[in-house]
Amino acid sequence: MKLGRLNHVGVATPSIEASIAFYRDTMGAEVIRAPFDLPAQGVKVCFIDTPNTQIELIEPLGESSPIHGFLAKNPAGGQHHLCYEVPDIHEAKAWFEAKGARVLGEPRIGAHGTMIFFVHPRDMGGVLTEIMETPKDGH
Ligand SMILES: CC[C@H](C(=O)O)C(=O)SCCNC(=O)CCNC(=O)[C@H](O)C(C)(C)COP(=O)(O)OP(=O)(O)OC[C@H]1O[C@@H](n2cnc3c(N)ncnc32)[C@H](O)[C@@H]1OP(=O)(O)O
Ligand SMILES: [Co+2]
């Protein structure tokens, strides 16, 4: 497997609006992308651009959101996952499985519109890791 760029750092938040204001007013980020819902993934998402990657703000969407547990333990929110790009999502899935790491579910469409999967944090040095097929248009 060829490890690609760090596509984004996922940051869970109880309020995506408050977090947008923080990145705009405290961090000086230019917030140009509107939040959007990903019902299939149980999150509301807003990407904050930085020169070399993105912050992916995620707020729970719906009762079965996978980040309710994280926010119950971290009520103010916090760093949730790292997402790396790979050229071939299926080759990457086989790679992690061959290493004995727990791939969570089947590859599915993520927030950038390309295929993604997650690898369990307990098998990744404590870091919930998202693997994403490199977007064809480069971002
Ligand atoms: C896909 C759309 C978008 C995109 O970029 O395209 C996103 O990124 S959406 C992001 C939200 N979706 C997900 O996170 C899906 C994958 N996540 C999961 O399946 C769960 O969150 C899971 C299985 C990682 C944890 O589930 P849960 O919190 O309900 O289980 P536990 O509390 O039992 O946790 C087990 C164990 O893992 C530790 N943990 C949980 N979350 C994290 C985390 N974000 N980073 C590091 N470690 C985490 C938790 O503390 C437990 O550890 P233990 O030592 O066993 O207590
Ligand atoms: Co993500």
Q: Which fold has domain 6-133?
A: 2,3-Dihydroxybiphenyl 1,2-Dioxygenase; domain 1 (3.10.180)
pLDDT confidence of residue 135: 85
First-to-last C-alpha distance (Å) of the chain = 20
Residue 139: band (very low, low, confident or very high) from pLDDT cuts 50, 70, 90: low
H-assigned helices in 16-126: 16-25, 68-73, 89-98
CA atoms within 13 A on the CB side of 54: 21
Ligand 1, residue 122: give the atom nearest the CA: 37
pLDDT confidence of residue 9: 98
pLDDT single digits (tens) 1-39: 999 999 999 999 999 999 999 999 999 999 999 999 999
Ligand nearest to the CA of 82: 2
Cα separation, 133 vs 109, in Å, equals 10
**CA-closest residue to ligand 1 atom 12:** 66
The pTM score is 0.96
Domain boundaries, the chain: 6-133
* Interval 63-73 mean pLDDT: 97
Do β-strands 78-86 and 115-119 pair in parallel, antiparallel, or remain unpaired? Answer: unpaired
Residue 138 confidence (pLDDT) above 70: no
Tokens representing residue 35 in the block: 């939040």
Residues 6+ apart with CB under 8 A from 86: 1, 2, 3, 4, 92, 131, 132, 133, 134
Listed residue (78, 87, 30) closest to 54, CA to CA: 30
For ligand 2, an ion, list residues with CB under 5 A: 10, 56, 83, 130
Apex CA 77: angle with CA 131 and CA 107, to 5°? 20
pLDDT single digits (tens) 78-136: 999 999 999 999 999 999 999 999 999 999 999 999 999 999 999 999 999 999 999 88
pLDDT confidence of residue 25: 98
pLDDT confidence of residue 102: 98
pLDDT confidence of residue 100: 98
Q: Is residue 115 in contact with ligand 1, taking CB distance under 6 Å?
A: no
Residue 137: band (very low, low, confident or very high) from pLDDT cuts 50, 70, 90: confident
Cα separation, 83 vs 102, in Å, equals 16
